[in-house]
Amino acid sequence: MKKIIFTGGGSAGHVTVNMALIPKFIHEGWSVDYIGSANGIERQLIHSKLGVTYHSISTGKLRRYLDWKNIKDPFKVVKGVIQAYKIINRQKPDIVFSKGGFVSVPVVIGAWLNKVPVIIHESDLTPGLANKIASKFSSVVCTTFPETAAAFSHNKCRYVGPVLREEMKKGSRERGRKFTGIVELNKPIVLVMGGSLGSRNINEAVRQSLPKLTKQFAVVHLCGKGNLDPTISYPEYRQYEYINEELPDLLAMCDLVISRAGSNSIFEFLSLKRPMLLIPLSKQQSRGDQILNAGSFEQHGYCKVLYEENLSPSSLTTSIEALAEDKDIYVKNMGSFKSKDALTDLYDLIIETSNNG
């Protein structure tokens, strides 16, 4: 039996591609293991995958800025490398696939030390620090945007396009309405997604906008763990910490999406032709990758962008109304996007690399 180990975590965006690939490998009879952090969201998301053994390792965040934690976190990374090396040496996989995030670096290095081939995947237009480091120990670097190749060694790069989860195409508008209880309301539905960990700024702006928004729209709000507000009650408003299995139904049900600008999510919205208002993480909160992602989509006419420094209840309401008014234009523009079968291409590339390794 052939074996593969997946890694990646820290946010849902560093897990979704793995979640798309894992069922294919299980179906083909591979033994599948996952290495992640002890308490990261990757453990929560992967735990439900039958046949996947989860191994946790020590992790330390990689930072580009000064922080006292930079003194102790390298020791956590070294400990993680030793743990990953031992797991990989024991499991003897044919290949390791890494989606990125700081948990992935010790795993990639551990695989390299065991002489196991590694494929890494970069979703954003520009690579994160973890994947920049990991690329030096990898066999192949796969990218979602063709422009990303400029940041890596060209002989390693392979443009595969966006990897989309098959289940996202199988949503049901009726199931979504039944799940949320929005059955009789004859209003356009706005789905708000602040990311897997939620967003305080987006949550506050949405909730302060509800008196005006709910006159025109029904609002389904994914606000992140611990961010529910039980004091709010509008017939047109539903709030949830996090949705997993029902997400395809919510996307099938909604007319508009408000979201951060993580690559995996926005390409899924694009494939479903859901007009989107993107609120990318600011440069104060990130390395600016979401700003670039959103800018690329805006340039192609796929979305409207509201930058976080301009976010307020008033600007949010105005942007949603403008998006709704031009909905048909955005749908038409998104219809011109021609997606590759990136999931199959990536699967085939993993098989080829494992055989050559």
pLDDT tens string 301-333: 999 999 999 999 999 999 999 999 999 999 999
Q: What is the pLDDT along the chain (357 residues), one digit of tens a residue?
A: 899 999 998 877 889 899 999 999 999 999 999 999 998 888 888 876 667 999 999 987 665 555 556 666 778 889 999 999 999 999 999 999 999 988 999 999 999 999 999 999 999 888 888 899 999 999 999 999 888 988 887 788 999 999 988 889 999 999 999 999 997 778 999 999 986 555 889 999 999 999 999 999 999 999 988 899 999 999 999 999 988 889 999 999 999 999 999 898 999 999 999 999 999 988 777 778 899 999 999 999 999 999 999 999 999 999 999 999 999 999 999 999 987 789 999 999 999 999 986
Is residue 349 within 8 A of residue 160, CB to CB? The reply is yes
pTM, 2 dp = 0.82
Class of 167-334 per CATH?
A: alpha beta
pLDDT tens string 268-277: 999 999 999 9
What's the mean pLDDT when you consider all of the chain? 91
Distances from the Cα of 60 to the Cα of 33, 233, 253, angstroms: 21, 41, 39
Is residue 22 within 8 A of residue 49, CB to CB? The reply is yes
Q: What is the pLDDT of residue 183?
A: 79
Cβ contacts of 100 within 8 Å, gap of 6 or more:
8, 14, 120, 121, 122, 123, 128, 130, 131, 134
For the chain, how big is the Rg over CA atoms in Å? 21
Give CATH superfamily name and number for 3-164+340-356: Glycogen Phosphorylase B; (3.40.50.2000)
pLDDT tens string 96-138: 999 998 899 999 999 999 999 999 999 988 888 889 999 999 9
Handedness of CA 261, 262, 263, 266 (dihedral sign): negative
Residues of the chain with CATH 3.40.50.2000: 3-164+340-356, 167-334
Angle at 128 between CA 196 and CA 32, to 5 degrees: 65
Residue with tokens 């539903």: 238
